[in-house]
Amino acid sequence: MHLVRDNLAQAVDAAVKPLELAVVLPTFNERKNLGPMIERLDEALQGIAWEAIVVDDNSPDGTSDEARAIALNDPRVRVIERIGRRGLSSAAIEGMCATAAPVVAVMDADHQHDPRLLPEMLKAVTSGEFDLAYASRFCDGASTEEWGRPDRVKASGLANRLARKVTGVTLSDPMSGFFMLRAATLRADAHRLSGVGFKILLDILATVETPLRVKEFPMSFAARAEGESKLDRTVVFEFLVGLYDKWLGRIIPTRFALFGTIGAMGVVVHMAVLSAILAVFGGPPLKGQLVTAFEVAQTIAALTAMTFNFFLNNALTYADKRLTGFVPLLRGWAKFGLTCLIGLTANVGVAAILVRYGIHEYPAALVGIVIASVWNFALSSKFVWGKYGT
Ligand code: GDD
Ligand code: MN
Protein backbone atom coordinates (compact mmCIF):
# COMPACT_ATOMS: atom_id res chain seq x y z
CA MET A 1 0.00 0.00 0.00
CA HIS A 2 2.82 2.29 0.94
CA LEU A 3 4.44 1.58 -2.41
CA VAL A 4 1.22 2.36 -4.25
CA ARG A 5 0.85 5.69 -2.43
CA ASP A 6 4.48 6.54 -3.19
CA ASN A 7 3.90 5.82 -6.82
CA LEU A 8 0.68 7.78 -6.77
CA ALA A 9 2.63 10.76 -5.54
CA GLN A 10 5.08 10.22 -8.37
CA ALA A 11 2.25 10.01 -10.84
CA VAL A 12 0.82 13.30 -9.60
CA ASP A 13 4.28 14.85 -9.79
CA ALA A 14 4.72 13.55 -13.27
CA ALA A 15 1.32 14.87 -14.30
CA VAL A 16 2.11 18.32 -12.98
CA LYS A 17 5.58 18.48 -14.44
CA PRO A 18 5.80 17.83 -18.17
CA LEU A 19 7.73 14.76 -19.13
CA GLU A 20 11.42 15.53 -19.62
CA LEU A 21 13.14 12.27 -20.41
CA ALA A 22 12.36 8.79 -21.69
CA VAL A 23 14.85 6.04 -20.95
CA VAL A 24 14.57 3.23 -23.47
CA LEU A 25 15.60 -0.18 -22.15
CA PRO A 26 15.84 -2.79 -24.89
CA THR A 27 15.59 -6.21 -23.27
CA PHE A 28 16.00 -9.81 -24.18
CA ASN A 29 16.00 -12.21 -21.23
CA GLU A 30 16.61 -9.58 -18.54
CA ARG A 31 13.83 -10.53 -16.12
CA LYS A 32 15.97 -10.47 -13.01
CA ASN A 33 17.77 -7.26 -14.02
CA LEU A 34 14.67 -5.18 -14.66
CA GLY A 35 13.30 -4.47 -11.17
CA PRO A 36 16.68 -3.36 -9.76
CA MET A 37 17.24 -1.29 -12.92
CA ILE A 38 14.02 0.69 -12.42
CA GLU A 39 15.00 1.25 -8.78
CA ARG A 40 18.36 2.62 -9.85
CA LEU A 41 16.67 4.92 -12.40
CA ASP A 42 14.34 6.16 -9.68
CA GLU A 43 17.29 6.97 -7.47
CA ALA A 44 19.40 8.59 -10.18
CA LEU A 45 16.59 10.69 -11.68
CA GLN A 46 15.20 12.39 -8.56
CA GLY A 47 13.54 15.67 -9.52
CA ILE A 48 13.38 14.81 -13.23
CA ALA A 49 10.09 13.83 -14.88
CA TRP A 50 11.00 10.61 -16.60
CA GLU A 51 9.55 7.43 -17.99
CA ALA A 52 11.16 4.12 -18.84
CA ILE A 53 10.18 2.27 -21.99
CA VAL A 54 11.00 -1.39 -21.89
CA VAL A 55 11.17 -2.83 -25.41
CA ASP A 56 11.16 -6.57 -25.04
CA ASP A 57 11.31 -9.08 -27.86
CA ASN A 58 8.99 -11.62 -26.31
CA SER A 59 11.82 -12.99 -24.12
CA PRO A 60 11.38 -16.65 -23.17
CA ASP A 61 12.29 -15.81 -19.56
CA GLY A 62 9.17 -13.63 -19.19
CA THR A 63 10.87 -10.23 -19.10
CA SER A 64 7.76 -8.51 -20.47
CA ASP A 65 5.55 -10.06 -17.77
CA GLU A 66 7.99 -8.72 -15.21
CA ALA A 67 7.93 -5.30 -16.90
CA ARG A 68 4.12 -5.26 -16.84
CA ALA A 69 4.10 -6.30 -13.18
CA ILE A 70 6.33 -3.34 -12.38
CA ALA A 71 4.31 -1.00 -14.60
CA LEU A 72 1.11 -1.95 -12.82
CA ASN A 73 2.33 -0.10 -9.73
CA ASP A 74 4.60 2.42 -11.37
CA PRO A 75 3.03 4.60 -14.05
CA ARG A 76 6.45 5.74 -15.23
CA VAL A 77 7.21 2.32 -16.61
CA ARG A 78 5.83 1.34 -20.01
CA VAL A 79 6.19 -1.81 -22.04
CA ILE A 80 6.42 -2.58 -25.72
CA GLU A 81 6.39 -6.28 -26.40
CA ARG A 82 7.41 -7.21 -29.93
CA ILE A 83 6.39 -10.58 -31.29
CA GLY A 84 8.46 -12.41 -33.89
CA ARG A 85 11.10 -9.68 -33.96
CA ARG A 86 14.68 -9.51 -32.71
CA GLY A 87 17.34 -6.86 -32.53
CA LEU A 88 18.76 -4.28 -30.16
CA SER A 89 18.92 -1.43 -32.73
CA SER A 90 15.38 -1.77 -34.00
CA ALA A 91 14.10 -2.13 -30.41
CA ALA A 92 15.90 1.09 -29.46
CA ILE A 93 14.47 2.96 -32.47
CA GLU A 94 10.93 1.82 -31.74
CA GLY A 95 11.28 2.72 -28.07
CA MET A 96 12.59 6.19 -28.89
CA CYS A 97 9.69 6.77 -31.29
CA ALA A 98 7.10 5.63 -28.74
CA THR A 99 7.36 8.52 -26.30
CA ALA A 100 6.20 12.11 -26.03
CA ALA A 101 9.30 13.02 -24.02
CA PRO A 102 11.42 15.72 -25.72
CA VAL A 103 14.66 13.89 -24.85
CA VAL A 104 15.35 10.17 -25.18
CA ALA A 105 18.10 7.97 -23.81
CA VAL A 106 19.01 4.38 -24.63
CA MET A 107 20.86 2.16 -22.19
CA ASP A 108 21.43 -1.52 -21.48
CA ALA A 109 19.12 -3.13 -18.95
CA ASP A 110 21.80 -5.44 -17.53
CA HIS A 111 23.48 -2.86 -15.21
CA GLN A 112 26.59 -2.41 -17.35
CA HIS A 113 25.68 1.27 -17.76
CA ASP A 114 25.53 3.53 -14.72
CA PRO A 115 22.24 5.49 -14.64
CA ARG A 116 23.87 8.13 -12.43
CA LEU A 117 25.33 9.62 -15.63
CA LEU A 118 21.85 10.44 -16.93
CA PRO A 119 21.23 13.83 -15.20
CA GLU A 120 24.50 15.29 -16.51
CA MET A 121 23.78 13.91 -19.96
CA LEU A 122 20.34 15.51 -19.83
CA LYS A 123 21.85 18.85 -18.90
CA ALA A 124 24.23 18.67 -21.85
CA VAL A 125 21.39 17.99 -24.29
CA THR A 126 18.85 20.45 -22.87
CA SER A 127 21.43 23.25 -22.59
CA GLY A 128 21.27 23.49 -26.37
CA GLU A 129 25.05 23.31 -26.51
CA PHE A 130 25.05 19.66 -27.61
CA ASP A 131 22.80 17.51 -29.77
CA LEU A 132 23.88 14.21 -28.36
CA ALA A 133 25.43 12.99 -25.12
CA TYR A 134 26.96 9.55 -24.86
CA ALA A 135 28.99 7.47 -22.45
CA SER A 136 32.31 6.16 -23.74
CA ARG A 137 34.21 3.09 -22.57
CA PHE A 138 37.40 4.23 -24.25
CA CYS A 139 38.07 7.93 -23.64
CA ASP A 140 40.26 9.51 -20.96
CA GLY A 141 38.85 8.75 -17.54
CA ALA A 142 36.84 5.75 -18.77
CA SER A 143 37.47 2.21 -17.68
CA THR A 144 36.62 -1.31 -18.73
CA GLU A 145 38.38 -3.01 -15.86
CA GLU A 146 35.25 -3.93 -13.96
CA TRP A 147 33.86 -5.55 -17.13
CA GLY A 148 36.45 -8.31 -16.79
CA ARG A 149 36.38 -9.15 -20.51
CA PRO A 150 39.74 -8.22 -22.10
CA ASP A 151 38.71 -10.20 -25.20
CA ARG A 152 35.64 -8.00 -25.68
CA VAL A 153 37.67 -4.83 -24.97
CA LYS A 154 39.99 -5.81 -27.81
CA ALA A 155 37.14 -6.72 -30.16
CA SER A 156 35.31 -3.47 -29.37
CA GLY A 157 38.50 -1.50 -30.01
CA LEU A 158 38.84 -3.14 -33.42
CA ALA A 159 35.15 -2.60 -34.25
CA ASN A 160 35.46 1.06 -33.26
CA ARG A 161 38.54 1.56 -35.43
CA LEU A 162 36.85 -0.07 -38.42
CA ALA A 163 33.69 1.95 -37.86
CA ARG A 164 35.62 5.23 -37.66
CA LYS A 165 37.52 4.47 -40.89
CA VAL A 166 34.47 3.54 -42.89
CA THR A 167 31.97 6.14 -41.62
CA GLY A 168 34.27 9.04 -40.79
CA VAL A 169 32.76 9.25 -37.29
CA THR A 170 35.42 10.46 -34.84
CA LEU A 171 34.08 9.43 -31.38
CA SER A 172 36.22 7.24 -29.14
CA ASP A 173 33.38 4.70 -28.75
CA PRO A 174 30.78 4.87 -31.55
CA MET A 175 29.74 1.32 -30.58
CA SER A 176 28.53 2.47 -27.16
CA GLY A 177 24.99 1.47 -26.26
CA PHE A 178 24.48 4.37 -23.80
CA PHE A 179 23.45 7.73 -25.28
CA MET A 180 20.86 10.52 -25.23
CA LEU A 181 19.52 13.00 -27.78
CA ARG A 182 16.48 15.14 -28.55
CA ALA A 183 13.61 12.96 -29.71
CA ALA A 184 12.95 15.29 -32.65
CA THR A 185 16.52 14.81 -33.90
CA LEU A 186 16.02 11.07 -33.87
CA ARG A 187 12.57 11.19 -35.45
CA ALA A 188 13.79 13.37 -38.32
CA ASP A 189 16.06 10.58 -39.55
CA ALA A 190 14.51 7.47 -37.98
CA HIS A 191 13.19 6.23 -41.32
CA ARG A 192 16.71 6.19 -42.76
CA LEU A 193 18.35 4.14 -40.00
CA SER A 194 19.22 0.54 -40.80
CA GLY A 195 17.95 -0.90 -37.52
CA VAL A 196 20.11 -4.00 -37.95
CA GLY A 197 22.31 -5.41 -35.18
CA PHE A 198 23.76 -3.50 -32.23
CA LYS A 199 25.28 -0.41 -33.88
CA ILE A 200 22.48 2.06 -33.20
CA LEU A 201 24.63 5.02 -32.11
CA LEU A 202 26.99 4.62 -35.06
CA ASP A 203 23.96 4.39 -37.32
CA ILE A 204 22.53 7.65 -36.00
CA LEU A 205 25.86 9.47 -36.28
CA ALA A 206 26.51 8.22 -39.81
CA THR A 207 22.96 8.88 -41.04
CA VAL A 208 21.98 12.38 -39.84
CA GLU A 209 22.15 15.18 -42.42
CA THR A 210 23.75 17.82 -40.20
CA PRO A 211 26.62 16.58 -38.02
CA LEU A 212 25.67 16.33 -34.34
CA ARG A 213 27.52 18.22 -31.62
CA VAL A 214 28.53 15.43 -29.27
CA LYS A 215 29.38 15.55 -25.59
CA GLU A 216 31.37 12.57 -24.36
CA PHE A 217 31.08 11.20 -20.82
CA PRO A 218 33.72 8.75 -19.63
CA MET A 219 32.11 5.72 -18.02
CA SER A 220 33.23 2.76 -16.06
CA PHE A 221 31.68 -0.14 -17.96
CA ALA A 222 30.54 -2.65 -15.37
CA ALA A 223 30.09 -6.40 -15.57
CA ARG A 224 26.63 -7.68 -16.50
CA ALA A 225 24.52 -8.33 -13.38
CA GLU A 226 22.42 -11.38 -14.33
CA GLY A 227 22.22 -13.52 -17.46
CA GLU A 228 24.31 -13.55 -20.61
CA SER A 229 25.34 -11.22 -23.42
CA LYS A 230 23.33 -11.43 -26.63
CA LEU A 231 26.17 -10.22 -28.80
CA ASP A 232 26.92 -13.23 -30.96
CA ARG A 233 28.33 -14.24 -34.36
CA THR A 234 25.24 -12.95 -36.10
CA VAL A 235 25.64 -9.49 -34.59
CA VAL A 236 29.31 -9.39 -35.62
CA PHE A 237 28.43 -10.57 -39.12
CA GLU A 238 25.66 -7.98 -39.42
CA PHE A 239 28.06 -5.29 -38.27
CA LEU A 240 30.56 -6.20 -41.00
CA VAL A 241 27.79 -6.35 -43.60
CA GLY A 242 26.61 -2.91 -42.46
CA LEU A 243 30.11 -1.48 -42.81
CA TYR A 244 30.45 -2.98 -46.27
CA ASP A 245 27.13 -1.43 -47.23
CA LYS A 246 28.33 2.03 -46.22
CA TRP A 247 31.72 1.51 -47.82
CA LEU A 248 31.14 -0.15 -51.21
CA GLY A 249 27.39 -0.79 -51.16
CA ARG A 250 26.69 1.88 -53.76
CA ILE A 251 29.13 0.40 -56.26
CA ILE A 252 28.52 -3.30 -55.73
CA PRO A 253 25.15 -3.79 -53.96
CA THR A 254 25.46 -5.55 -50.60
CA ARG A 255 22.95 -8.24 -51.36
CA PHE A 256 24.68 -9.14 -54.60
CA ALA A 257 28.11 -9.16 -52.93
CA LEU A 258 26.85 -11.43 -50.14
CA PHE A 259 25.13 -13.83 -52.45
CA GLY A 260 28.08 -13.80 -54.80
CA THR A 261 30.60 -14.50 -52.02
CA ILE A 262 28.64 -17.36 -50.53
CA GLY A 263 27.79 -18.65 -54.00
CA ALA A 264 31.44 -18.55 -55.06
CA MET A 265 32.41 -20.54 -51.99
CA GLY A 266 29.73 -23.09 -52.91
CA VAL A 267 31.13 -23.31 -56.46
CA VAL A 268 34.62 -24.01 -55.09
CA VAL A 269 33.26 -26.81 -52.91
CA HIS A 270 31.24 -28.17 -55.82
CA MET A 271 34.16 -28.21 -58.23
CA ALA A 272 36.50 -29.77 -55.66
CA VAL A 273 34.11 -32.64 -55.01
CA LEU A 274 33.36 -33.07 -58.71
CA SER A 275 37.01 -33.28 -59.68
CA ALA A 276 37.80 -35.66 -56.81
CA ILE A 277 35.08 -38.08 -57.88
CA LEU A 278 35.90 -37.79 -61.58
CA ALA A 279 39.59 -38.38 -60.86
CA VAL A 280 38.68 -41.74 -59.37
CA PHE A 281 35.62 -42.85 -61.36
CA GLY A 282 35.80 -40.68 -64.52
CA GLY A 283 36.34 -41.84 -68.07
CA PRO A 284 34.06 -42.54 -71.01
CA PRO A 285 30.74 -44.28 -70.16
CA LEU A 286 30.59 -48.04 -70.67
CA LYS A 287 28.16 -49.45 -73.16
CA GLY A 288 24.65 -49.83 -71.81
CA GLN A 289 25.46 -47.78 -68.71
CA LEU A 290 22.34 -45.84 -67.67
CA VAL A 291 23.93 -43.12 -65.55
CA THR A 292 27.36 -41.74 -66.28
CA ALA A 293 30.03 -41.13 -63.68
CA PHE A 294 29.65 -37.42 -64.42
CA GLU A 295 25.95 -37.46 -63.58
CA VAL A 296 26.56 -39.20 -60.26
CA ALA A 297 29.52 -36.93 -59.51
CA GLN A 298 27.56 -33.78 -60.39
CA THR A 299 24.74 -34.89 -58.08
CA ILE A 300 27.05 -35.65 -55.15
CA ALA A 301 28.97 -32.41 -55.70
CA ALA A 302 25.73 -30.39 -55.78
CA LEU A 303 24.48 -32.11 -52.61
CA THR A 304 27.78 -31.39 -50.86
CA ALA A 305 27.75 -27.74 -51.93
CA MET A 306 24.13 -27.47 -50.81
CA THR A 307 24.99 -28.91 -47.41
CA PHE A 308 27.91 -26.49 -47.14
CA ASN A 309 25.62 -23.57 -47.99
CA PHE A 310 23.04 -24.80 -45.51
CA PHE A 311 25.54 -24.71 -42.64
CA LEU A 312 26.85 -21.34 -43.76
CA ASN A 313 23.35 -19.92 -43.88
CA ASN A 314 22.45 -21.51 -40.58
CA ALA A 315 25.50 -19.96 -38.91
CA LEU A 316 24.64 -16.51 -40.26
CA THR A 317 20.88 -16.43 -39.82
CA TYR A 318 19.17 -14.79 -36.85
CA ALA A 319 20.36 -16.14 -33.53
CA ASP A 320 16.89 -17.09 -32.32
CA LYS A 321 16.24 -19.12 -35.45
CA ARG A 322 19.60 -20.88 -35.61
CA LEU A 323 19.27 -24.64 -35.47
CA THR A 324 21.44 -26.57 -33.04
CA GLY A 325 21.52 -30.23 -32.08
CA PHE A 326 21.58 -33.21 -34.40
CA VAL A 327 17.87 -33.77 -35.02
CA PRO A 328 16.85 -30.12 -35.63
CA LEU A 329 19.88 -29.72 -37.90
CA LEU A 330 18.97 -32.85 -39.84
CA ARG A 331 15.36 -31.73 -40.17
CA GLY A 332 16.45 -28.24 -41.26
CA TRP A 333 18.89 -29.70 -43.75
CA ALA A 334 16.17 -31.92 -45.22
CA LYS A 335 13.81 -28.93 -45.55
CA PHE A 336 16.54 -26.87 -47.15
CA GLY A 337 17.27 -29.80 -49.47
CA LEU A 338 13.62 -30.04 -50.50
CA THR A 339 13.56 -26.31 -51.23
CA CYS A 340 16.67 -26.70 -53.37
CA LEU A 341 15.41 -29.87 -55.04
CA ILE A 342 14.03 -28.15 -58.13
CA GLY A 343 17.27 -26.21 -58.53
CA LEU A 344 19.27 -29.38 -57.98
CA THR A 345 17.28 -31.36 -60.54
CA ALA A 346 17.60 -28.60 -63.13
CA ASN A 347 21.31 -28.36 -62.32
CA VAL A 348 22.11 -32.04 -62.82
CA GLY A 349 19.66 -32.42 -65.73
CA VAL A 350 21.01 -29.54 -67.78
CA ALA A 351 24.65 -30.42 -67.04
CA ALA A 352 24.03 -34.06 -68.02
CA ILE A 353 22.38 -33.09 -71.31
CA LEU A 354 25.26 -30.73 -72.15
CA VAL A 355 27.83 -33.44 -71.47
CA ARG A 356 25.90 -35.93 -73.60
CA TYR A 357 26.00 -33.36 -76.41
CA GLY A 358 29.74 -33.25 -76.13
CA ILE A 359 30.35 -30.18 -73.95
CA HIS A 360 33.30 -30.53 -71.59
CA GLU A 361 32.38 -31.61 -68.06
CA TYR A 362 33.50 -28.52 -66.10
CA PRO A 363 31.76 -25.86 -68.21
CA ALA A 364 28.67 -28.11 -68.22
CA ALA A 365 28.85 -28.33 -64.41
CA LEU A 366 29.13 -24.56 -64.21
CA VAL A 367 26.06 -24.01 -66.38
CA GLY A 368 24.15 -26.38 -64.08
CA ILE A 369 25.32 -24.44 -61.04
CA VAL A 370 24.29 -21.10 -62.55
CA ILE A 371 20.80 -22.41 -63.28
CA ALA A 372 20.43 -23.74 -59.72
CA SER A 373 21.76 -20.45 -58.36
CA VAL A 374 19.03 -18.41 -60.05
CA TRP A 375 16.45 -20.55 -58.28
CA ASN A 376 18.26 -20.48 -54.95
CA PHE A 377 18.80 -16.73 -55.20
CA ALA A 378 15.09 -16.16 -55.74
CA LEU A 379 14.40 -18.14 -52.56
CA SER A 380 17.31 -17.06 -50.41
CA SER A 381 16.95 -13.36 -51.21
CA LYS A 382 13.49 -13.59 -49.74
CA PHE A 383 14.12 -15.86 -46.78
CA VAL A 384 17.76 -15.42 -45.90
CA TRP A 385 19.05 -12.07 -47.04
CA GLY A 386 15.84 -10.06 -47.14
CA LYS A 387 16.79 -8.19 -43.99
CA TYR A 388 19.82 -6.53 -45.61
CA GLY A 389 17.75 -4.54 -48.08
CA THR A 390 18.56 -4.08 -51.72
N1 GDD B 1 14.67 -5.99 -27.45
C2 GDD B 1 15.89 -6.53 -27.61
N3 GDD B 1 16.11 -7.38 -28.64
N4 GDD B 1 16.88 -6.23 -26.74
C5 GDD B 1 18.08 -6.81 -26.93
C6 GDD B 1 18.37 -7.69 -27.99
C7 GDD B 1 17.30 -7.99 -28.89
O8 GDD B 1 17.44 -8.75 -29.84
N9 GDD B 1 19.67 -8.08 -27.90
C10 GDD B 1 20.17 -7.47 -26.81
N11 GDD B 1 19.23 -6.71 -26.23
C12 GDD B 1 19.34 -5.90 -25.00
C13 GDD B 1 19.88 -6.67 -23.82
O14 GDD B 1 18.85 -7.33 -23.11
C15 GDD B 1 20.55 -5.59 -23.01
O16 GDD B 1 19.63 -4.89 -22.21
C17 GDD B 1 21.08 -4.65 -24.09
O18 GDD B 1 20.29 -4.88 -25.24
C19 GDD B 1 22.58 -4.91 -24.42
O20 GDD B 1 22.73 -6.25 -24.81
P21 GDD B 1 23.91 -7.18 -24.23
O22 GDD B 1 23.66 -8.56 -24.73
O23 GDD B 1 24.06 -6.99 -22.77
O24 GDD B 1 25.15 -6.56 -25.02
P25 GDD B 1 26.68 -6.59 -24.59
O26 GDD B 1 26.84 -6.19 -23.18
O27 GDD B 1 27.31 -7.85 -25.02
O28 GDD B 1 27.23 -5.42 -25.57
C29 GDD B 1 27.62 -4.16 -25.09
O30 GDD B 1 28.58 -3.62 -25.97
C31 GDD B 1 28.10 -3.33 -27.27
C32 GDD B 1 29.24 -2.81 -28.12
O33 GDD B 1 30.39 -3.58 -27.97
C34 GDD B 1 26.40 -3.23 -24.98
O35 GDD B 1 26.78 -2.07 -24.27
C36 GDD B 1 25.85 -2.83 -26.32
O37 GDD B 1 24.83 -1.83 -26.11
C38 GDD B 1 26.99 -2.31 -27.18
O39 GDD B 1 26.48 -2.03 -28.50
MN1 MN C 1 25.50 -6.18 -21.63
In 3D space, the residue among 28, 29, 225 whose CA is nearest the CA of residue 110 turns out to be 225
Q: Using CA atoms in the order 66, 68, 72, 74, what is the torsion angle rounded to 10 degrees?
A: 80
Instruction: Give the nearest ligand 1 atom to 227 CA.
Output: 23
Q: Coil, strand or helix: which one is 295?
A: helix
CB-based contact 187:97 (threshold 8 Å): yes
Facing residues of 364 across strands? none
CA of 177 from ligand 1 middle (Å) equals 7
CA of 35 from ligand 1 middle (Å) equals 17
Query: How far is residue 161's CA from residue 55's CA, in Å, rounded to a whole number?
Result: 29
Q: Exposed, middle or buried: residue 334 (CB in 10 Å: 0-12, 13-18, 19+)?
A: exposed
pLDDT class of 385 with cuts at 50, 70, 90:
very low
CB-based contact 86:319 (threshold 8 Å): yes
Write down how long the chain is. Answer: 390
CA of 344 from ligand 2 middle (Å) equals 44
Average pLDDT, the chain: 89
Name the percent of the chain lying above pLDDT 70.
92
CATH of region 2-248, choose from 3.30.1490.20, 1.20.1070.10, 3.90.550.10, 3.30.420.240:
3.90.550.10
Which ligand approaches the C-alpha of residue 228 most closely?
Answer: 1
State which amino acid sits at residue 379. L
What residue ranges do the domains of the chain occupy? 2-248, 254-383
State which amino acid sits at residue 61. D
State which amino acid sits at residue 49. A
Listed in sequence order, the residues at least 6 apart from 103 whose beta carbon sits closer than 8 Å to its beta carbon are 20, 21, 22, 122, 125, 126, 180, 181, 182, 183
Mean pLDDT of 97-115: 98
pLDDT class of 379 with cuts at 50, 70, 90:
confident
Query: How far is residue 337's CA from residue 344's CA, in Å, rounded to a whole number?
Result: 9
Mean pLDDT of 368-382: 77
**Strand order of the sheet with strand 77-81?**
77-81, 50-56, 21-27, 103-106, 179-182, 132-136, 214-218
Binding site membership of 258 for ligand 1 (Cβ less than 6 Å) = no
Instruction: Give the nearest ligand 1 atom to 221 CA.
Output: 35
Query: How far is residue 261's CA from residue 27's CA, in Å, rounded to a whole number?
Result: 33
pLDDT higher than 50, residue 320: yes
Q: Roughly how many angstroms between the first and final C-alpha of the chain, as a whole number? A: 55
pLDDT class of 4 with cuts at 50, 70, 90:
low
